[in-house]
């Protein structure tokens, strides 16, 4: 299925030196290019990866740790103590100086520690898991919002192009109308005011066409920015609105399964585990630890002489907080408030998610009905304009009446194009939510 879509929505990219000429043949091709090339989407994905490492860090705190340390000291002055001389066979009442230690003292130690009961670290790990899952859902939400902007801008370009075509037709019609009025003026059948009004209409259309072309160029530059393309790259859109047949039967997903709702649920779970972590901070912590040390004392470094010895310990250690300036107490109160705020946030996001999806579904249904009416209006306006021009040439209607018909034709054509684009837009938005 993906292969068929790729072939149907072909993206042609050809390189000319450093610049590229890029051709988009469909809205889906623009969305695919954005997913592959947009720097903002890549940055968003990288930010999500940060929380994966936070989860690994929190998990690592539950694993055993092994550390080593080494030191070598030179004693500038060794401590001396007076010892009764009779211990060494000397006369009673006299003392003998005894020096403790050697000039050089070196040791190498290994310390192993494994947490046995650390409830706060377990809660911290679960909190990191929920933060990661919330970030992944947030990423999908932001990604869909970004792609919705691209879809809206792409369809707006197609509307502008179709409007340019309509305006070009009107340019020709206004030109013919001006020539007809000028001929009738020469025959003294029209006034100078009528001639000026038709010329003003012709010039106004010319001006509108140039304004639309400028708007198209600006929109293309904005689209290139969203697609992650450099300004010197040429972007050609080979597409038109008539290539699309909106699917008005698209059904929205369950609003409570939307990414922003799922993200808020994980944020609530994260707040819950953060609250538990603050509670567990009051509990005792039990760890297994072991230490092995090798030591050497000598009067000359690296001499091989001196004394070497080793010792080791194995045991359990337990710690329990008693008082810390009410820090843990206030942290627990803060975590409780954060938990309540997360509950309020989840309820609000559920309401907003359901309201937004309902609005899109209603709008899509409205465009389904409006498209039929707008299509009929455009056809009737086209016929009316052709007949009105003929009637004006034959003098059956006034210039004011023709101007009214002219305006109705332009309005009906542009209205149909906008309704079609809106239908495609809402259909695309609903389908993006299904991903």
> 240-286, pLDDT tens digit by residue?
988 988 888 888 788 999 999 999 999 999 999 999 999 998 899 99
Position 10 scores a pLDDT of 40
Cβ contact 143:355 at 8 Å: no
The whole-angstrom separation of Cα 163 and Cα 159 is 6
Domain boundaries, the chain: 26-62+119-284+323-433, 66-117+286-319
Sign, CA dihedral 156-161-162-167, equals positive
Half-sphere exposure of 168 (CA within 13 A, CB side): 8
The whole-angstrom separation of Cα 424 and Cα 4 is 20
CATH, range 26-62+119-284+323-433: 1.20.1600.10
Q: Which residues, in sequence order, are bridge partners of residue 13?
A: 22
- pTM of the predicted structure, to 2 decimals: 0.77
Cβ contact 277:124 at 8 Å: yes
Low-confidence ranges of the chain (pLDDT < 50): 1-18
The whole-angstrom separation of Cα 56 and Cα 131 is 12
* DSSP letter, residue 88: G
Position 410 scores a pLDDT of 85
- The pair of structure tokens assigned to 263 is 């993200």
Secondary structure element (H or E) that encloses residue 119, with its range: helix 119-186
> 15-47, pLDDT tens digit by residue?
333 457 889 999 999 999 998 888 888 888 888
Position 100 scores a pLDDT of 76
> 94-119, pLDDT tens digit by residue?
888 777 778 888 899 999 999 999 99
**Angstrom distances, CA of residue 395 to CA of 32, 318, 391:** 56, 106, 6
- The pair of structure tokens assigned to 339 is 């938990």
């Amino acid at each position: 299925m993906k292969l068929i879509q790729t072939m149907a929505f072909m993206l042609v990219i050809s390189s000319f030196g450093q610049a590229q000429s890029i051709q988009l043949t469909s809205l889906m091709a623009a969305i695919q290019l954005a997913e592959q090339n947009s720097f903002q989407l890549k940055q968003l994905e990288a930010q999500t990866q940060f929380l994966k490492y936070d989860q690994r860090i929190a998990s690592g705190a539950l694993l055993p740790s092994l550390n080593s340390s080494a030191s070598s000291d030179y004693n500038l002055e060794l401590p001396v103590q007076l010892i009764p001389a009779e211990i060494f066979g000397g006369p009673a009442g006299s003392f003998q100086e005894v020096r403790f230690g050697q000039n050089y003292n070196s040791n190498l130690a290994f310390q192993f520690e494994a947490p046995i009961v650390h409830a706060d670290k377990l809660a911290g790990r679960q909190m990191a898991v929920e933060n990661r899952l919330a970030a992944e859902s947030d990423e999908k939400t932001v990604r869909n919002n970004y792609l919705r902007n691209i879809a809206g801008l792409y369809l707006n370009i197609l509307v502008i192009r179709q409007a340019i075509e309509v305006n070009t037709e009107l340019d020709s019609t206004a030109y013919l109308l001006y020539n007809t009025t000028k001929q009738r003026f020469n025959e003294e059948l029209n006034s100078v005011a009528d001639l000026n009004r038709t010329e003003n209409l012709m010039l106004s259309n010319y001006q509108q066409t140039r304004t639309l072309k400028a708007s198209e160029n600006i929109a293309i530059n904005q689209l290139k920015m969203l697609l992650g393309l450099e300004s010197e790259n040429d972007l050609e859109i080979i597409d038109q609105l008539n290539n699309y047949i909106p699917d008005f039967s698209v059904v929205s997903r369950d609003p409570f399964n939307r990414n922003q709702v799922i993200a808020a649920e994980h944020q609530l779970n994260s707040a819950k585990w953060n609250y538990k972590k603050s509670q567990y901070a009051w509990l005792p912590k039990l760890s297994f630890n072991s230490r092995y040390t090798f030591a050497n004392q000598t009067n000359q470094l690296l001499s091989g002489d001196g004394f070497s010895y080793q010792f080791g310990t194995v045991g359990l250690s337990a710690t329990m907080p008693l008082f810390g300036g009410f820090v843990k107490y206030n942290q627990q109160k803060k975590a409780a408030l954060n938990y309540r705020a997360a509950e309020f946030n989840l309820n609000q996001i559920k309401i907003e998610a359901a309201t937004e999806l309902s609005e899109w579904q209603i709008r899509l249904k409205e465009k389904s009905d409006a498209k039929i009416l707008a299509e009929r209006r455009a056809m009737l306006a086209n016929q009316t304009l052709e007949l009105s021009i003929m009637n004006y040439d034959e003098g059956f209607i006034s210039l004011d009446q023709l101007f009214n018909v002219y305006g109705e034709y332009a309005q009906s054509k542009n209205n149909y194009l906008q309704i079609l684009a809106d239908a495609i837009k809402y259909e695309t938005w609903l389908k993006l939510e299904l991903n």
